[in-house]
Chain A
């Protein structure tokens, strides 16, 4: 059986791959492995955002709960993605619901551990926030593309 450290697990994850090993070691100290079964809630809108999740395997459905209609899935996140930006800003409340689409393995990183360290080490904080900004840009761009409705009726392929 191969035993890997948390720092090694983070190094294998797309999001953390390019950050310096020292910072990765520090982040590993704030992390733990979590597993969610199909349909299990990962986070709930309006509740305290205590950190973020780095998905290692499985699919996570992210959406917003609509009364009488249930969870409206807006996007699916996969292995290599991160879930959760709300831990970075007041009021530290989840803005979304996230539900495991199938069995999900993830690393959970805790804000109570991370935020004080990042405040004290602004260079590391800047790096991590830049990485989150890139994730946000990709999410926004993906949303823009969907708003284009490229498969819509008025956009015809010839042939």
Chain B
């Protein structure tokens, strides 16, 4: 039976449409075009987000875009990692400490981390897709014994564009999870792998009976990764992907992010592969 929005249990909450002022309290330049902003509420805080959810970030005078939460912090602080792809994101990436941004949310259905407890977990991230998955890694490392074997495979265009590089090195040195990185194009001194992320998955030992997966990155990448995992016997319902669509209202009203019967903003962005596989192969959707 294919799932419908009614049958997919939603963990989404609908917040007010009015942006809540937040002040930029920290700016970290992750790569040449990627910035992590820490925000604190100027007055009331929004509801705390969960891993995989996003907020609508509003740069005054520039506009509003959906940005994933890239870390979960107590006390009303929000952490977002933003890639400068012109327009509003350029303005957001140029933010300085003390600037004020508007925030709506959090929105959407996040990663089902609870379902992964007691299971092996394969996390696959491509490019900026590591940002929404970073809170999952933090959760795993904070309660490592609650999970089985955990593997993190990170794909990037180049070594220089690898996100959270220092943190990745730290995770690798802790030996608590299997961290693998792979780049499309190598540069002198790069000692990791070169190729597509599925190249690294081939070498992973996977027990399909107990493995769950969380995949975030370009849609083509998510498709080949999900197919690779299901070909190896992992249940499609155990493979979660974060669906990429243009979002404008984030509250299931404008219809921009509709994928067949689903709205990526509220039914997603995280959906399981059994639900979206047939939809993501429809070229017009």
Contact = CB atoms under 8 A, between A and B. Distances in A.
Interface residues of A, number: 32
Kindly name the residue among B54, B65, B193, B245 whose own CB sees the greatest number of chain A CB atoms within 10 A: B193
Nearest to A61: B194
Given A80-B202, A155-B218, A157-B83, 15 more contacts: A61-B194, A72-B186, A74-B194, A76-B195, A80-B203, A101-B191, A101-B193, A142-B195, A149-B184, A151-B157, A153-B33, A154-B85, A158-B65, A158-B247, A159-B108
A7 to B, nearest CB: 23
Interface of B: 33, 54, 65-68, 83, 85, 89, 108, 126-129, 132, 155-157, 161, 182, 184-186, 188, 190-196, 198-200, 202-203, 216-218, 220-221, 224, 242, 244-247, 257, 269
Contacts of A123: none
B244 A151 contact: no
A151 B155 contact: yes
Interface in A74-106: 74-81, 101
A148 B129 CA distance: 17
B203 A145 contact: no
B126 A150 contact: yes
A73 B190 contact: yes
A150 B225 CA distance: 14
Contact of B246 (A151, A152, A158): A158
A146 to B, nearest CB: 5
Contacts of B161: 151
A156 interface: yes
Contact of A151 (B127, B186, B188, B224): B127
A149 B195 contact: no
Given A157-B244, A159-B269, A148 B220 contact: yes
A145 B196 CA distance: 7
Kindly name the residue among A72, A101, A156, A157 whose own CB sees the greatest number of chain B CB atoms within 10 A: A157
